[in-house]
Structure 1
Amino acid sequence: MNPLRLFAAGTVLMFTLSMVAQQPASSTDAHPVALAPVDQHLKVLSEKLALTADQQDKARPILQEMHDGSQKLEDDQSLSADQRHAAMSELFMKSDKQMREFLTDDQKKKLDEMEAQMQGGPHDHPGGSLSSPQH
C-alpha cells in the first residue's frame, strides 16, 4: 500500500474511533455506560459495512489489537513523531489487511469509499487501508 493510502487508512480509523468516542451512550439508565472504544469502532464499522455476526466476531480481536497497539505507541514518549507515524502506519496496514480477508467485495468497496471521503474526495483505492488492508 502506498504511504498516502496508508495514512488515509490510519486517519479513517482514528477518525472513526474519535467519532465513536464522542457519541453519547444511548441508555435509559440514569448512569449510562459508554461502550469501550473497540466496541464503538466495531459498531460503526458494522453499521457502515453491514457486517455479519461472524464478521463482527472476526473483527473484534483485530480492532482490539489495533487499539491496544496505537495506545501503546501514543504513550511511548521515547519515539519521535516520525517513528510513531511509521509504527502506526504499520499497525493500521496490518489491521486493514486482516479485516479485508473476510470482507466481501461490496464491503471492501464501501470501505474504500469511506476512506476516499476522509481524504476529501473520490480516489481510486483498489485494496488499500482499513477499507483495504494490504499490510
Structure 2
Amino acid sequence: MNRIRLLAAGTVLMFAIGAVAQQTTTSPDVHAAAVAPVEQHLKVLSDKLGLTADQQDKARPILQEMHDGSQKLNEDQSLTPDQRHEGMVPLFMKADKALREILTDDQKKQLDAMEAQMQGGSHDNPHGTTAPPPGD
C-alpha cells in the first residue's frame, strides 16, 4: 500500500512540477523558473495541510531535492520513459518519508486523504481500478 500511495503522491507532484515548469519556461530568469515549482508545491502543501512557517522551512529543501532529481531524470534522454518512472520512485519515497517526519498526525491523515483523492479513490491497486479501502 505504501508504494502505491507514494507513486500516487509522486504522480501528483510531477504533474504540479510539470504544469509550473511549462508556465515558467518562457521566463528569462532561469533561477526563478527552477524555484517556482518548488515554491508552488510548497504553497499547495501549506494551504492543504496548514503547514507552519517552521514546517515550510523544513519542507522546502525536501521538495527542492525531489524536484532537482526528477528534473535530472526527465532530461536524461538515454533513459526510456519506464526507466525514468522507475528512477523517480525512490525520489518520491524519500521525499514522502522526509515530509511525514515534519508533519503532525492530523496533517499526515490529511496528506493520506489528498493522495487517495489524487489517485482517484483507488487504494493498493497499480492498475488504476477501484479497490476497497483497507479495513479501518
Report TM bin, short chain.
0.7 to 0.9
Q: CA deviation at 1:60?
A: 0.4
Aligned to 2:5: 5
Aligned to 1:94: 94
**Cα contact 1:113–1:122 (8 A) shared by 2:** no
Q: CA deviation at 1:5?
A: 2.4
Identity score, percent: 77
Aligned pairs for 1:40-55 within 5 A? 40-55=40-55
Normalization by structure 2: what TM-score?
Answer: 0.74
**Cα contact 2:42–2:63 (8 A) shared by 1:** yes
Structure 1 residue matching 2:103: 3-state secondary structure: coil
Aligned to 2:127: none
Normalization by structure 1: what TM-score?
Answer: 0.74
> CA 1:21–1:102 in structure 2 vs 1: closer, same or farther (change >3 Å)?
same
Aligned to 2:120: 120
The superposition leaves residues 3-55 of structure 1 with CA deviations (integer Å, 9 ceiling, x where unpaired) of: 422321211212333455678xxxxxxxxx98711111111110100000000
Aligned pairs for 1:64-83 within 5 A? 64-83=64-83
Aligned to 1:107: 107
The superposition leaves residues 44-93 of structure 1 with CA deviations (integer Å, 9 ceiling, x where unpaired) of: 11010000000000000001111111100000011122221111011000
Structure 2 residue matching 1:12: 3-state secondary structure: helix
Structure 2 residue matching 1:77: 3-state secondary structure: coil
> CA 1:99–1:86 in structure 2 vs 1: closer, same or farther (change >3 Å)?
same
Aligned length: 116
**Cα contact 2:20–2:36 (8 A) shared by 1:** no
**Cα contact 1:21–1:40 (8 A) shared by 2:** no
More helix by share: 2
* Residue type at the aligned position of 1:108: K
Write the distance in 1 (CA, Å) between the matches of 2:77 and 2:21.
Answer: 24
Aligned to 1:39: 39
Aligned to 1:84: 84
